[in-house]
Chain A
């Protein structure tokens, strides 16, 4: 016997399968791709790159939050289903 919530549950579960790895990826990879390169690099171009690196880190944190929120919302919806 099927219920009205079955298509929604299937859709939410499918979304969760797609988005959980995205959230894990964004949470796991440290947003410091420049590594030690900046230490051996001086001048305006290095300063500009450091600035871009900071923007990347903040953007990464924002994307990580969005992914975590999306996964949390999906789980909450699934938990609320009868």
Chain B
């Protein structure tokens, strides 16, 4: 609690920590620096192998000067390179395994605590309805809904440290996977098989629906404008900067002579956190429905925009999104309905969504941002995971709502990913960079269309 709270200054030196990288297909977690060191060692080993071949050839020349000491010394130093590289790999594997075990134990404890806590709350509801009702009514009487929301927001903004630590984020992840245990336990019904964040989100939707909240409706998506020309983005930061807000979807169509078109779909973040489903599909309802694995309004809106832009099932597509946009991008990739070849998400709650093999790109998260944790722990391993603490160590926290989830925090993290030195990160950045640039270099064209979507019926207005 001793951290300083300062006004937001985008020009401030990057307060973020080192990049943590989990390659595709594994749970080993290494820093980008460690992976870059492993890359350098691998290159040194290759060079030393070449040196050894030269020394062996020289040693075999007769008459000449024998050089067995040099050959032995080269063999030893190459062995030490390999030892060091393996030590780095072991450290990464140990760290990843420790994280995995700690996370599994904490989630299991969370589920057990939820089932234990449920009967206590259940008894409280039965035995003490009067005091509970009085408390609830008192809260409603003293403060209106808007005043309560404003008071909570003001409190959180003034105390950013409460929601900005990796420990808090871990607790959110545990809570996100335990709601489905807590809810039936409170109601006094038997616990079914646990289903993690997806089941928790479903349980939340079910409960909210009973009181008229979070009810989905139909969406209509309209073109806002189309512009021809421009360049393909270079790097993570340029892609992040193209993610729209307000008008929620931007689609870039790349055409090249004799080639099928390619599309990059940029999907914006949540526009409102109101639990009342309203005209805005980029809302809390879509967030919860997305984590539940349903078909949120914002997903249907994106698919309407894609169809309007001319995306056919066989066309290659990249999906890029921030926050809810990242959730929807991941759902589009996981649906199997589109030929998604690349995904890049920033701060998205996608841990439980199963992705197909062979995707380029990465999921980027700040470890002190609890929004991604609402999707539960990271279970899928088909996409490179890149994380870092947005405000590391004693870095001053700005007075903002969830500072580590703010756009400026992810801008800095995008810059850090662009500056990554490890081949595992750079290869993925390059793969996304070349997607549109390849077509433009062949004399192709770029057309950008922006879309706005609204719910039109079916939802319940409060």
Q: A11-B61, A59-B77 are in contact. Are A18 and B54 (CB under 8 A)?
A: yes
Q: How far is the CA of A19 from the CA of B64 in the complex (A)?
A: 12
A63 touches which one: B74, B83, B95 (CB < 8 A)? B74
Main secondary structure of the interface of B (DSSP, over half): helix
Q: A12-B64, A18-B58, A35-B33 are in contact. Are A49 and B87 (CB under 8 A)?
A: yes
Which B residue's beta carbon lies closest to that of A39? Answer: B33
Contact mask A41-81 → B, CB, 8 Å, 1/0? 10101101100110110011011011101100110010000
Contact segment of B36-44, B424-432, B451-459: B36-44
Residue B47 lies at the interface, judged by CB distance under 8 Å to chain A: yes
Contact segment of B65-73, B246-254, B330-338: B65-73
Q: How far is the CA of A36 from the CA of B32 in the complex (A)?
A: 10
Q: How far is the CA of A74 from the CA of B40 in the complex (A)?
A: 31
Q: How far is the CB of A58 from chain B (nearest CB, A)?
A: 9
Q: Are the CB atoms of A70 and B65 closer together than 8 Å?
A: yes
Q: A29-B44, A45-B94, A52-B80 are in contact. Are A8 and B63 (CB under 8 A)?
A: yes
Contact mask B92-114 → A, CB, 8 Å, 1/0? 00110000000000000000000
Q: A26-B51, A37-B37, A62-B76 are in contact. Are A19 and B87 (CB under 8 A)?
A: no
Residue B81 lies at the interface, judged by CB distance under 8 Å to chain A: yes
Residue B62 lies at the interface, judged by CB distance under 8 Å to chain A: yes
Q: How far is the CA of A41 from the CA of B94 in the complex (A)?
A: 13
Q: How far is the CB of A46 from chain B (nearest CB, A)?
A: 7
Residues of A contacting B401 in the complex (Cβ-Cβ under 8 angstroms)? none
Which B residue's beta carbon lies closest to that of A12? Answer: B64
Q: How far is the CB of B72 from chain A (nearest CB, A)?
A: 8
Report the contact-size class of chain B (Cβ under 8 Å from the partner). Answer: 35 or more
Which A residue's beta carbon lies closest to that of B54? Answer: A18
Q: Are the CB atoms of B18 and A56 closer together than 8 Å?
A: no
Residue B148 lies at the interface, judged by CB distance under 8 Å to chain A: no
B77 touches which one: A15, A45, A56 (CB < 8 A)? A56
Residue B88 lies at the interface, judged by CB distance under 8 Å to chain A: yes
Contact mask B289-317 → A, CB, 8 Å, 1/0? 00000000000000000000000000000
Q: How far is the CA of A19 from the CA of B260 in the complex (A)?
A: 53
Q: How far is the CB of B131 from chain A (nearest CB, A)?
A: 49
Residue B91 lies at the interface, judged by CB distance under 8 Å to chain A: yes
Residue B205 lies at the interface, judged by CB distance under 8 Å to chain A: no
Residues of A contacting B80 in the complex (Cβ-Cβ under 8 angstroms)? 52, 55-56, 59-60
Q: Are the CB atoms of B70 and A19 closer together than 8 Å?
A: yes
Could you list 6 A-B pairs, sorted by A, with CB under 8 Å? A11-B62, A15-B58, A37-B37, A40-B33, A48-B87, A49-B88
